[in-house]
Structure 1
Amino acid sequence: MKRISAIFILILLAACKTNNTVDYAILQGKIENKGEYKKLTLTNNDRDFKYEIDIAEDGSFQDTLNIDSGVYTLSLDRRKYISVALFDGDQLTVTSDAENFADSLKFEGQGGNENILLQSINGKIKDFDQNRKNDYTLEEGAYKSLILNQKSKLMSLLNASEVINPLFKDQQTRYINYWFVHNLQYYQNSHRYFTEDPDFVVSKNFLDEAKAIDFQIEEDYKGSKYYNNLVNIEHREIADSLVKDGFKSVRQARLEVATQFQSDYIRNDLLYQTIMGTLVFANEFSADYNTYLELTTNETQKAKVQEKYNQVKALEKGNPSPAFTEYENHSGGKTSLEDFRGKYVYIDVWATWCGPCKAEIPYLIEVEKKYHDNNNIAFVSISVDKEKDYDKWKTMVKEKGLGGVQLIADNVFNSDFIKAYQIMGIPQFILIDPEGNIVNRNAPRPSSSELLDVFEELKL
């Protein structure tokens, strides 16, 4: 009887242990010199995930996190952030100084060893990648040997630590491999650019390691930016191959290819990225929007897409263009869009601080000169420089001999015209017809040969 009771107790204890499995992590610590900071934010590659942790007046914080195990970004603001690994059962203590957030980090407690190691691995990767543009000029064999050697050093760093969570070790092994393959994927185009050899093509077996990647791992898609990029590259390449075989459009191909990914999360995110890019840049997008609504199963993303669609549907080709009124003209006086009625208007939205904008200037000058005597088109540049850069704008227009009509927006990116066109980044080029209707809200850049093709089609 005693033997039966003892066995029963052991079974009961085992059951209790199973039922009490920890499915959360505790994150606590203190931020010295916190100043005005009131929250820490946890995010990852999941566009729908954002978790805020309150910081007390004395800089301390503590939260119990019922979230998926993995690597997250812990941030005070856009410039102060770190990667942090959190696994079920961790009780991680993080201390740092807000004035020197990343470099003053200390980790203690369960999960501390993993995070100390994570910072070391990420630091090595940062060091390796800082000189990458020089590496891209290497011959492909030498380049691949270099990347393999760097991967070996990262794996040695990972394997040197024995007192770490095996789940973390397995995860980081995958992540280091994604970093390695990611560097291989970017070699061909980067080598072409830095060696000025546009016809360069890597050898047949150069990307063999990419063939072994499993593109269905949701955890890695959320946690590793390199894996996330690799999945997106795979998505684009399959879609591009369909287009080459005669598929109706690039955007429809990408929507179709997204459905081939087995992970619901990855599939929906690829659909979401495709349609949001379409709504931001395309001139005709209703058909793609309707296809997206049929394919997605993520209601949160669907609601965001519907909101965006309602914002931009007035920007489809053929609709009346938003207008600007009484913008200051560099040559003097005020100028409005209505002043160009009866002409095509090619608008460059730019700023003096924008590198890509300035890179387009020589090409824009050449195009403007080519059509300088053509009364059927006007070239208008609208600066979104802040008030503090006003004199810089005045000087740059003069020194660079910018042609066309040079204007400055009345309220930077908050100007009605800029907001109406949903402009989030510059340069952006807009083409409007003589009746004031939109031809292309994301027209080809002056550096693209496509721009002159467009002008020829319009018989300019």
Structure 2
Amino acid sequence: MNKMHKISIILILLILTSCKSNPKEEYAIIKGNITNGEDIEKIYLTNNDRDFKYEINLLEDGSFRDTLTIEPGMYSMSIESRKSTQIVFSKGDDLTIIMDANYFKDSLKFEGQGSNENILLQTINKKIIDWEQKKSEAYSLGEGDYKNLLSERQKELTALLYGKQELNPLFVDFMKRHIDYWKFYGLTYYQVYHRYYTKNPEFTISSDFLDGARALDFYREVDYKASEYYYRLVMSEQIKRADSIEKSGVSNKTLARLKASAGFQSDYIKNDLLLQTIMGSLAFDNEFTSSFDAYMQLSTNPDHKAKVLKQFNEVKSLEKGNLSPKFVNYENYNGGLSSLDDFKGKYVYIDVWATWCGPCKAEIPYLQDVEKTYHDNDKIAFVSISVDKEKDHEKWKAMVKDKEMSGYQLIADNSFKSDFIDSYKVKGIPQFILIDPNGNIVNRSAPRPSSPRLIELLNDLDI
């Protein structure tokens, strides 16, 4: 064996040994403990991608440990629907999180590799939340003063990234962009909020007010997933482009938004915008087949397309003009049973509600006003269907009486699992449905009583 050959073998061995002793870590470790979380079984990590949810299981003593191989970055960490905070991690982190379920955000403690970044993230978020509490003062300022205030706050947040603590350079780079997006978001929505807080609906920003925000690009997939402000800015851009497309002759709002979505450079962002737009259409629009066809041509994500096809097949019978699903023998507050067929020959405006639903109760006075307006009109019947559970049956009767609710007051036979409610794919309430005298769907997501559009719709139908 010659000398050069021996040297080559030694170098290879050194490289292999080096790789073995210093492996490139492709994961992060997250562990910790939750106190007072007896009913909590999982921790959830989500981002702005609505299809993404990562679950971390809790042991009986409230401890948890997981090896994260998901994409590093910023995530929303939640233990219950209303208890969430943002965390961030990088490859190689070994992060410990301690929390009390009863005092979630105030109790958070971070230790180990990755703790500096998360402590700083909480500090930045708290400052932004504190400023949000005083947004009426900020948005009431004139253009120059508001811009100066935003710039001062941007500098204050950015300065925190260059303190004495050691931080991951990737985290610093991302947070600099995230803070910029926060500022751009404040500039973009200044006109809307200034009009609201100063009660000056005619106010219009100067032509150069948004010059700084106009330089923003819209193809950063990582930022779209992680930064709520970048995500909102992309949504705002989508709506702006859709408005322009509508003005050019595309009258259908959903089609305009689909076309606008297709114009984004990033396939990921484009497909996500397309998905959100079509799923919203399939949930609320009255005519959506043309939108569905357009979506299937524009999307390049096969998983999304399969999801949309499944949803379309579930709701296609709910398009305007199709025969409405029927409710049969629902208990009537005034006695007896009532079915949809009892109202044949009349338009039927249905309010799906429940005693525990705040927005539902807020609509009751408006519905009563509409009912009074049409009290002597035999062309329309107003039917309220409660989806309260059986255990709240008496509560339903008491509220109907206390609020002097008029019209036909019915209660569904099996809450949200009732055939009629399930057929209409009711997921959230209140939901209002309008059916014509022949039992066909006019609008499966009709305007609320509080909206002037309801009276406009009824007038258009010559009711």
- Using the size of structure 2 for normalisation, the TM-score is 0.90
Comparing 323-332 and 8-17, the one that deviates more: 8-17
Query: Which residue does the alignment assign to 1:202?
Result: 205
> Aligned equivalents of 1:183 and 1:410: distance in 2?
48
2:174 corresponds to 1:171: yes
Q: Which amino acid aligns with 2:425?
A: Q
Query: Which residue does the alignment assign to 2:288?
Result: 285
Query: Which residue does the alignment assign to 1:93?
Result: 96
* TM-aligned CA distance change 1:393 to 1:57, over 3 Å: closer
2:360 corresponds to 1:348: no
Q: 1:201-220, CA deviations, whole angstroms, 9 ceiling, x for partnerless residues?
A: 22323322321221110001
Structure 1, gaps ≥5 residues long: none
Q: Which amino acid aligns with 2:440?
A: N
Query: Which residue does the alignment assign to 2:434?
Result: 431
> Aligned equivalents of 1:67 and 1:255: distance in 2?
29
Q: 1:336-392, CA deviations, whole angstroms, 9 ceiling, x for partnerless residues?
A: 222111101111223444444344344333332222211111122223345566555
* Aligned partner of residue 27 in structure 1, secondary structure: strand
Q: Which amino acid aligns with 2:298?
A: L
> Aligned equivalents of 1:364 and 1:235: distance in 2?
34
Residue of 332, 337, 340 corresponding to 2:340: 337
Residue of 119, 123, 130 corresponding to 1:120: 123
User: 2:346–2:378: 8 Å Cα contact kept in structure 1?
Assistant: yes
Query: Which residue does the alignment assign to 2:185?
Result: 182
User: 2:352–2:431: 8 Å Cα contact kept in structure 1?
Assistant: yes
* TM-aligned CA distance change 1:138 to 1:68, over 3 Å: same
* TM-aligned CA distance change 1:140 to 1:300, over 3 Å: same
Mapping 1:238-249, distance limit 5 Å: 238-249=241-252
> Aligned equivalents of 1:152 and 1:332: distance in 2?
67
* TM-aligned CA distance change 1:147 to 1:390, over 3 Å: farther
Q: Which amino acid aligns with 1:92?
A: L
* Number of residue equivalences: 460
> Aligned equivalents of 1:170 and 1:430: distance in 2?
49
* TM-aligned CA distance change 1:8 to 1:108, over 3 Å: farther
User: 1:27–1:62: 8 Å Cα contact kept in structure 2?
Assistant: yes
Comparing 423-432 and 198-207, the one that deviates more: 198-207
Residue of 415, 420, 430 corresponding to 2:418: 415
Query: Which residue does the alignment assign to 1:70?
Result: 73
User: 2:116–2:165: 8 Å Cα contact kept in structure 1?
Assistant: no
Residue of 75, 80, 85 corresponding to 1:82: 85
Query: Which residue does the alignment assign to 2:318?
Result: 315
* Aligned partner of residue 161 in structure 2, secondary structure: helix
> Aligned equivalents of 1:195 and 1:368: distance in 2?
35
> Aligned equivalents of 1:193 and 1:354: distance in 2?
27
* Aligned partner of residue 103 in structure 1, secondary structure: helix
Query: Which residue does the alignment assign to 1:440?
Result: 443
Identical counterparts, % of pairs: 56
* Aligned partner of residue 105 in structure 2, secondary structure: coil
C-alpha deviation, 1:417, in angstroms: 2.0
User: 1:114–1:165: 8 Å Cα contact kept in structure 2?
Assistant: yes
Query: Which residue does the alignment assign to 1:160?
Result: 163
Q: 1:405-438, CA deviations, whole angstroms, 9 ceiling, x for partnerless residues?
A: 2333333333322222112222222110111110
Query: Which residue does the alignment assign to 2:382?
Result: 379
> Aligned equivalents of 2:249 and 2:53: distance in 1?
41
Query: Which residue does the alignment assign to 1:232?
Result: 235
User: 1:128–1:150: 8 Å Cα contact kept in structure 2?
Assistant: no
Query: Which residue does the alignment assign to 2:23?
Result: 20
C-alpha deviation, 1:157, in angstroms: 2.4
* Aligned partner of residue 164 in structure 1, secondary structure: coil
> Aligned equivalents of 1:393 and 1:368: distance in 2?
20
* TM-aligned CA distance change 1:198 to 1:357, over 3 Å: farther
Q: Which amino acid aligns with 2:235?
A: N
